[in-house]
Amino acid sequence: MNECKVIWRSVLSQLEVMISTISYDLWFKDLKPYTIEGDTLILVAPLNSFKKVSVQYADQIEAAIKASGSKITGIEIITEDEKDSFAVADASDEKSLTEEETVSVFNPDYTFDSFVVGDSNEIAFAAAKSVAEHPGSNHNPLFIYGGVGLGKTHIMHAIANYIFEHNKNARILYVTAEQFVNDYIDSIKNNKDNDLNRQFRMKYRSVDVLMMDDVQFLSGKTSTQEALFHTFNDLYQFRKQIILTSDRHPRELASLEDRLKSRFQSGLTVDITKPSIETRIAILQKKAYMKKYDISQKAIFFIAENITSNIRELEGALNKVVYFCSLSGRSTEDLDAVKEALKDDIDISTHVLSMDSITDAVCAYYGVKKADIVGKRKNKLISNARQMAIYLINDMIGVPLLTIGQFFGGRDHTTIMYARDKITDASKTDNLIKAQINDIRSMLEKK
């Protein structure tokens, strides 16, 4: 791995706990390591305004460098236009595959404890935990497939962090399939003395655990597939753990040799699907806790209901809401502020059924306040409205009872179940309740 990338990642991990999350996301995440000049790490920034970071956060940067144990003494920030003024280390130096470089740097935040388990990923999580506890013995290879941003990379880093925690001498290599292709091409290009080819074999066959992300990238690359086939066989023969990820099942990988597909499926193949709303809420709550965000449950529910694609977009939306409300001085309790923060991520002109929209319709129908219906008041009208809202939320959008309980002021599972069942039973015999259900459904369908 490029030395300056390793150094900057180490410094970043220290900075992340020294400054506020908003400042970190705003000023440091987009800085890219470029080269090392003397004792100074050169970083490239997207805008000239980023240069003030080295002065504004000088003390924190100095402390982070010391804490990281890095050989550098400072940083310098440049823009793309200024890159030509700095000499980059000879690329051949970066190709030297030392023992230290075969061990990748893993994100310390990606652990099993920080991974939110739900219906969409519980099998993959259990398999990953088993592999981490007994690498090379259980489920070899482990093949995890699923869409972008659903947690495949998090699981791989969690496995690595767990293995390292229990075996400091473990040699674990994490690469993307694209990196494997590039390494293979470099090993055969202009190779007269076979040294690069030897380095390639040493890099990939001398590890205890090989993790390869996005293997769909290998489709159609015949010679690289040949190299991976022999690498796979060598590692498997010596009971070394192999972990692979892809955006689809091995059998659906076009232009991939059958013998590779067969080997990919010879261990355990598991999928990760889109998280349910309950899992999305749990993910947002855990992310907010880890980043020490002060964000309302109302905002978390809104994000979870409207961002349904993947975890990466959920986290991005969470960051946007907190950052926007912090800058504008508005509360995350204010849904108009939350909507404004996410105006580029969701189509607020399109009505989407949610716990909020259903509760709003019920409140309008019964003439009660939303604060009362989700609060503790218990007069007959409010109780009836609350039970109706609970029933419709569960019936129309399938939100789990535990999540509904959170939405309605932290009520327990049995209270929510009672409310739902009471309306369900009444709707079978009580014509008035039937009419009310139909009226509110009509209100929601016309929006």
CA gap 175, 210 in Å, rounded:
8
pLDDT in tens, 145-170: 998 888 898 999 999 999 988 888 88
DSSP 243: E
Q: Which phi and psi angles does 209 have, rounded to 5°? A: -140, 125
Residue of 32, 214, 20, 1 lying closest to 102 (CA atoms): 1
Q: What is the pLDDT of residue 185?
A: 85
Alpha-carbon distance values, 78 to 32, 86, 208 (Å): 10, 10, 39
Q: What is the pLDDT of residue 87?
A: 61
Q: What is the pLDDT of residue 97?
A: 39
CA gap 394, 400 in Å, rounded:
7
Mean pLDDT by 10 residues, the chain (447 residues): 74 81 81 86 86 86 81 87 67 41 66 87 93 89 90 91 88 88 80 62 85 89 88 89 92 87 91 85 87 86 84 87 88 87 71 79 88 85 91 85 84 89 91 89 75
Q: Which phi and psi angles does 24 have, rounded to 5°? A: -60, -50
Q: What is the pLDDT of residue 388?
A: 92
Three-state secondary structure call for residue 70: coil
Contacts with 96 (C-beta within 8 Å, 6 or more apart), sequence order? 199
Structural domains of the chain, ranges and CATH numbers in brackets: 3-89 (3.30.300.180), 122-272 (3.40.50.300), 277-341 (1.10.8.60), 355-446 (1.10.1750.10)
Q: What is the pLDDT of residue 195?
A: 55
Torsion sign over Cα 387, 389, 392, 393:
negative
Q: What is the pLDDT of residue 83?
A: 79
Quickly tell me which residue has 């380095």 as its tokens.
Answer: 199
Report how far apart the first and last C-alpha atoms of the chain are (Å, whole number): 54
Alpha-carbon distance values, 104 to 84, 134, 140, 174, 242 (Å): 29, 20, 20, 6, 15
pTM for the predicted model, two decimal places: 0.60
Contacts with 166 (C-beta within 8 Å, 6 or more apart), sequence order? none
